[in-house]
Structure formats: structure tokens, C-alpha cells
A and B are shown apart, each in its own frame.
Chain A
């Protein structure tokens, strides 16, 4: 368990690793090279692009500059979509946790005496990955479409008014995000719960902890690392997602998220500086959020 590996004051007992080792450095070289080529280079390129100014001579071209107003402009222009992205991602994370935790608990703990069923359930959680993300989202669009079965039923019982549809609403986008990220939420939580020592729960019960109390004081803290990883793995990609919210899938003009804006700026409007600035802002925002989250949860030692 992670706890044993990261207990803070046993450091003295751990073997001292030699600080300088040429072999270690040598072994790290491919990784460092990879990072420089595929992470640092595009990042620098992105930063340069984000500061470019329009070419005064040729329309549609940009020249290197230090045009930091790009940031101010995109914040002003796309503030609404940014807030919506964060909101949608937070909602999707919340719902994914709501569905993913019981699911992980069921597979990791309830099914523990039945290894075969446990493996089967795990496969079922992972199975959607075998089909393309786009296809699955399109399938939901079909199911939710105006001619589809769900809309038909909802219309007939009067929940859905005439002319209203499910797709293109906040509901359908958050639904799509939640659906697509449930495995990302479930698997890390499952990983912590499957190794949870059930005798600890018995001890909790024995020490006057009702099932609810034992869950709150024992199960939940001991699966915190999984919940942490799960929420991060869901929130980060969900905040930047541009498939679910796009008009071709489950979204509409009213549900545009920051990912869609970046996509449009890069590929349609070809306003590269604005797209780059937005990308960097999104990255910065998520970085700060994650840092605060990890710090506040006080579980950095569990990661």
C-alpha cells in the first residue's frame, strides 16, 4: 500500500540513494530527450504563437511579437465558455464519482469472493474503450435524437415540450462527459478498494462504528488516493474536451466549451495566437487547480 511507502518519519531507515550516478543519468537520457522534443518544444512554440501579432502587410498571417493583449482579448471574448467548461467538467466529475464509486466498491469489495464475476465486471467497465470514443458519443446522439426512443417517450409523457430536444442541452453534454469518463473515475478507485483490508472494516464495526460511520472513517479515507486520481483523470480531460460539446455530437451553440473555442480558432478562424493563448490559459488554470486540490486534500503522500 502507498501508506507504507510514504510514511514520513521512517526516512532514516530507508537506504540512501547515491545522488550522482552517471548510469542513472544515462538511463534517463531517452526520457529527457523525449520530453524536450515532444513537450518542451511545442510548449515554447505555443507560447511564441500566443504572443504573435497580425502581419500588417499580409492578411491572415502573423508575425512574432510580444502582443500580450491576446490574453486579455481571449479572456474577455471567451470568458463565458471558460466558466462553462469548468462548470461542465465539475458536474461531470461529480456525477462520474457518484456512479463510479459505488461501481468500484461493488467490483472491488462486494464481488471479491467471486473472482470470475469480478473480472467480468471489470471487463464490462473497460469494454467501451474497444469502440471509438467518437462512435460511442455519436451513438448517444442517435439515442437522444428527436426521432430517437428517449425523446419519443419523454415527449409522450409531456416532459419534453414540442420543439424541444435533448441533444444540444447542458444535460446532454454533461451526460456525454460523465458517460465517457466513468471508466477513468472507476478504475483508480477500484484499484484502491480492491486492496482494502476488509478486516479493517470488521475492526471498525467491532469498535462501535455503524456501517455508515465505518465507511466515512475507514473506507473513504483509505480510498482517498483513488478518488483523487479518479477526479483528476476525469476533470482535466473533461475541462478541455471538445467532442461532447460540439454541434456535431451532443452540443449546440449554447453549450460551447473552451475546447470547442480553441478548435474553432485553430482550424476555422485560423486565429492562431488566440487559440494558443487560450490553450495556455487552460493549461495554467488546470495546473493551479490541481495544485490547490492536492494541497487541500492533504493526500499528496498518497499519490
Chain B
């Protein structure tokens, strides 16, 4: 039995672009996504990055058709699919839970989508997809006989075999160990460049997002905070959330006390910090500025005041953690609190020890100014995002807890 509504025969020639227009999703009692606009160009590898409960999985489910938006439109390849059901959309999902059919063999699982669309040589195509993920030798087994990593690869094959215009990946590498994860990341990139699909990847792993995606959108509390190439996002975060969630940042708040044509000076608890105007989102009033830990240098004595460098000190080294390639120092400066510094281990002996008195400096060009204020720890509320269907309930509980705190 085939359904006429199901896209029949043939594969998508290439990836399609995805457009979300004013998407809002409300669950009873809370709003998961607010007025979301997003355009993902065809053939790109797009990552939606954010902490659990930020609305990224809901966004994915809306695109897949597993949830209906409260308001807004979803367009795939220019066609409005908002009103269509999941099975009518040229979209496939690699579920976080794999969701392999336990009563079918691996081959039957992979061929499922092809058969529903009435494609004739489903089995050879399924074998081909399994060879792509190097699992053709287990085609006759049942999913429960496979390891977690293997199941995940089968889930990937089951989605990719359909050559969807848009492939949605919901934390697909979550259950893999580091080596397999790397392997799969490479495979995913290969598949993407080979097939030219549009990939939308949802993850809370910033490293995964940055290494794999062409474009990363950082999502928080149902909104996209910032979007751009990974390097752009890292070097010039626009908000405190992005600065803290994507890598680490040292943030300072203060009033703008003077500004020239190219830069402004912020008085942060008595320390003057200069930031280029081009790298600052706001140029007056009370602002938050920051610098990445690896951009900061340590000095034994107060460095000579030089134009183009911000200097803070003296501070005391309160923590040293050696991680092979680099050493992470935690320096406590009385009026600023703890400042993190990464130093490349280019010399043999460790230069600074716990308790040493040090000065810090960084190039003005590396400083950035944020659009909002730093507040608390934005990445502190982490919880397991294991069950995609329960995410609504989970986020709701979190929001309730948050409301109670407030």
C-alpha cells in the first residue's frame, strides 16, 4: 500500500534550503520558541547549538513535522510545508534515541523509508547505505544485537538512504566514544559533500558544532542569540551567553569613560579596558567587555604601559591545571574576581605556580564588547536531554523552577 501524499519515486536532486518565518511554539504553560526566523541555505551544514531546554530540539521536531507550530511558517525549498504531516515532508531525522524498529532486521530498517515511497530497488540501495557506514555485514541482525555506536550508524544510514532534501540530526553522536565520534564526524562531512544534502544538526556540544558546521546558530531560551561561521562566533561573540557557552570568556563590566574614533575605554572597577569600536556592540553607558583566555598573557612584573594593550594586575595564581598542550591558570585579581588564562606549553618548565603574583595583559584588538550584561552562569542549568518527546515537560519543569527562584 502506498499513499499518494507520500513523495513517490526519485530522490532529491540536491539539498533544499530551509526557511523558518516567525515560528512560535507554545506548550501548555510555557513558550518553547518565540518568533524564530531562520534561513538555512541549500547544501550547508548548519548547527543549532544550545543548552538543553533552549528549544533546539523543538525546532527540529517542528521542521520534521512531529510538532505543529503555534504560529509561523516553515518552507523547504521554497515550498510551504507548515500544514503538511511528517510523512509528507522531504525531510529525514536521525533521532537521538536512534528509534530503530526492534522487530525488523537492520536491512529492513534501512529500507523502510524507500519502501514507503515505492522505490523499486530498495534492498540494494539499503545495502549501499549500510556499506557507507561500514555495517553491511550486520544487515541481517536485529537492532538489539548491535552496540550503541552501531545502532547510531544504522539510524544515520536509515535517514541518509532516502536522500532527503534536508537531513535533521538530533545529537546523533551523543552516545559515541571519542574515537567513533571523530570517525562519524568525518563520515558525516563526507556524506554531506558527496551527496550535497542540507544538514541541520542540533547539539549542545560546542566543539562538535564548531568542527562540523559551516554555520552555527547559538540558541538560548527559544531565541537565536547569534549566528555565523564558527570562527566568527568564537572571536566576536555578541552576547554574554555566546561568550560563555561557546568556549570560555573573561568578562568585565563598567561604564564607557572615553572614546576615540576607533576605540572606547571602559572603567571596570578602576581598571581601564580599551575595546575597538568595531568589535563592540554598544558604545556608551554601562557595558560588558571581554577577552578569550588564550588571548591573555601572564607577566611576572607589571608590564610597561603600552598603547594597544590592556593590563590588569596584580593578581594571584589560585589554580594551575596542566593539560598537555596548554596550561590553564586561574588568576584572582581582587577587584575582578577569577580570570582564566590559557598558556601554550611552548617552554619546558612551568612558568607560574600556585600563589605566584602575576600581571595580565592582552592586545586591545582581541577584546570584544557585548550587547548585553553578564549575569550569573548561563551554562549552569544542564540536564540530560535524553528523551526528545519529554523535552517539553522537562523544560517546563525548569521554567517553573526558575520562576520560583525569581
Which residues of B have CB within 8 Å of A207? Answer: 87, 92, 112-113, 116, 158-159, 162
B141 and A205: CB pair below 8 A? no
Instruction: Give complex CA distance A190, B185 in Å.
Output: 41
- The answer, among B6, B116, B144, for a CB contact under 8 Å with A4, is B144
Inter-subunit contact B87/A217 (CB<8 Å)? no
Q: Indicate whether B189 reaches chain A with its CB closer than 8 angstroms.
A: no
At the interface, yes or no: A277 with Cβ under 8 Å from chain B? Answer: no
CA of A127 to CA of B84, assembled, Å: 42
CB-defined contacts of B120 to chain A, threshold 8 Å:
none
- Measured CA separation A198–B390 after assembly (Å): 11
> B95 in the interface, Cβ–Cβ < 8 Å?
yes
With beta carbons under 8 angstroms apart, the residue of A9, A203, A209 that contacts B141 is: A9
- Count the A residues whose beta carbon is within 8 Å of the partner chain — how many? 28
List the B side residues contacting A212 at CB < 8 Å.
1, 3
B92 contacts A199, C-beta separation under 8 Å: no
User: A203 to B101, Cβ gap below 8 A?
Assistant: yes
CB neighbours (8 Å) of B87 from chain A are 204-211, 213-214
Residues in A with CB closer than 8 Å to B7 are 208
Residue pair B144, A3 in contact (C-beta under 8 Å): yes
Are A1 and B102 in contact (CB-based, < 8 A)? yes
Name the residue in B7, B65, B116 with the highest tally of chain A Cβ atoms < 10 Å from its Cβ: B116
B5 CB, nearest partner CB in chain A, Å: 7
User: Is B145 touching A210 in the complex (CB atoms < 8 A)?
Assistant: no
CA distance A236 to B61 in the complex (A): 46
The CA of A221 and the CA of B97, in the complex, are separated in Å by 20
Interface of A is mostly: helix
CB-CB contacts below 8 Å: A150-198 with B:
197-198
State whether B101 touches A218 (Cβ < 8 A).
yes
Q: Known contacts A208-B6, A209-B116, A213-B1; decide if A200 and B142 are in contact (CB<8 Å).
A: no
- In the bound assembly, the distance between CA atoms of A206 and B169 in angstroms comes to 12
| Nearest CB of chain A from residue B249's CB, rounded to whole Å | 37
Give complex CA distance A291, B307 in Å: 91
Q: How far is the CB of A113 from chain B (nearest CB, A)?
A: 9
Q: Which residues of A contact B102 (CB under 8 A)?
A: 1, 3-4, 200, 222
Q: A4-B144, A7-B145, A210-B87 are in contact. Are A202 and B95 (CB under 8 A)?
A: yes
Contact A210 B6 (CB under 8 A): yes
Q: What B residues does A216 contact at CB under 8 A? A: 1
Over the window 64-97 of chain B, the binary record of Cβ atoms lying under 8 Å from chain A Cβ atoms (1 yes, 0 no) is 1110000000000000000001110001110101
Across-interface contacts of B112 in A (CB, < 8 A): 204, 207, 209, 217
Contact A7 B99 (CB under 8 A): no
Check A203 against B99 for contact (C-beta < 8 Å).
Answer: yes
Assess whether B103 is in contact with A208, with CB atoms less than 8 Å apart: no
Q: Considering the chains assembled together, what is the distance between the CA atoms of A197 and B100 in angstroms?
A: 10
Which residues of chain B in 1-48 are interfacial with respect to chain A, using CB atoms and an 8 Å cutoff?
Answer: 1, 3, 5-7
> Is B86's CB under 8 angstroms from A202's CB?
yes
Determine if A205 and B158 form an interchain contact, defined as CB atoms under 8 angstroms apart. Answer: no
Q: How far apart sit A104 and B387, CA to CA, in the bound complex (Å)?
A: 24
Chain B proximity mask over A75-86: 1 for CB below 8 Å, otherwise 0: 000000000000
Interface pair B142/A7, CB less than 8 Å apart: yes
Which chain B residue has the least Cβ–Cβ distance from A200? B99
Instruction: Verify A199–B97 contact, CB threshold 8 A.
Output: yes
Residues of A within 8 A of B162 (CB): 207-208
- Closest Cβ of chain A: how far from B167's Cβ, in Å? 11
Q: Indicate with 1 or 0, residue by residue over A251-291, a CB within 8 angstroms of chain B CB atoms.
A: 00000000000000000000000000000000000000000
- List chain B residues, Cβ under 8 A from A21: none
Interface residue B211 (Cβ < 8 Å from any Cβ of A): no
The interface residues of chain B lying within 8 Å CB-to-CB of A211 are 87
Contact A3 B93 (CB under 8 A): no
Distance A181 CA – B166 CA, assembled complex (angstroms): 49
**CA–CA, A9 and B159, complex, Å:** 27
CA distance A206 to B97 in the complex (A): 14
Instruction: A142 to B74: give the CA distance in the assembly, Å.
Output: 60
Inter-subunit contact A202/B389 (CB<8 Å): yes
Q: In the docked arrangement, what's the CA distance between A1 and B142, Å?
A: 14
Which of B3, B6, B95, B144 meets A203, CB within 8 Å? B95
Asked if residues A7 and B64 are in contact (CB atoms below 8 Å), the reply is no
B204 at the interface (CB under 8 A from A): no
B47-67 at interface with A (beta carbon < 8 Å): 64-66
Partner of B5, one of A10, A203, A210: A210
Considering the complex, give the chain A residue whose CB is closest to the CB of B112.
A207
CB nearest to B141 among chain A residues:
A9
**B79: shortest Cβ distance to chain A, in Å?**
16
The interface residues of chain B lying within 8 Å CB-to-CB of A1 are: 102
* Among candidates B86, B142, B159, residue contacting A205 with C-beta atoms closer than 8 Å: B86
Distance of A221 from chain B, by nearest CB (Å): 5
Within 8 A of B (CB), among A207-263: 207-214, 216-218, 221-222
**Closest approach, in angstroms, between the C-beta of B378 and any C-beta of chain A?**
30
Q: Are A3 and B91 touching (Cβ within 8 A)?
A: no
Question: Known contacts A199-B388, A200-B99: does B92 contact A10 (CB below 8 Å)?
Answer: no
A246 to B242, CA, bound (A): 78
Kindly state whether residue B127 has any CB partner on chain A within 8 Å: no
Distance in Å from the Cβ of A200 to the closest Cβ of chain B? 5
Minimal beta-carbon separation of B212 from chain A (angstroms): 22
13 more CB-based (< 8 A) A-B contacts, given A206-B92, A216-B1: A1-B102, A3-B142, A200-B102, A202-B66, A202-B389, A204-B112, A206-B65, A206-B93, A207-B158, A208-B113, A211-B87, A212-B1, A217-B101
Query: 22 A-B Cβ contacts within 8 A?
Result: A1-B102, A3-B142, A4-B102, A7-B144, A203-B99, A203-B100, A205-B66, A205-B85, A206-B66, A206-B92, A207-B92, A207-B158, A208-B113, A208-B162, A209-B116, A210-B6, A210-B85, A210-B87, A211-B87, A213-B1, A213-B3, A213-B87
Chain A residues with CB under 8 Å of chain B are: 1, 3-4, 7, 9-10, 197-200, 202-214, 216-218, 221-222
Top-5 shortest CB links A-B: A207-B113, A203-B99, A208-B116, A205-B86, A210-B3
Which residues in B have some Cβ–Cβ distance to A below 8 Å? 1, 3, 5-7, 64-66, 85-87, 91-93, 95, 97, 99-103, 112-113, 116-117, 141-142, 144-145, 158-159, 162, 387-389
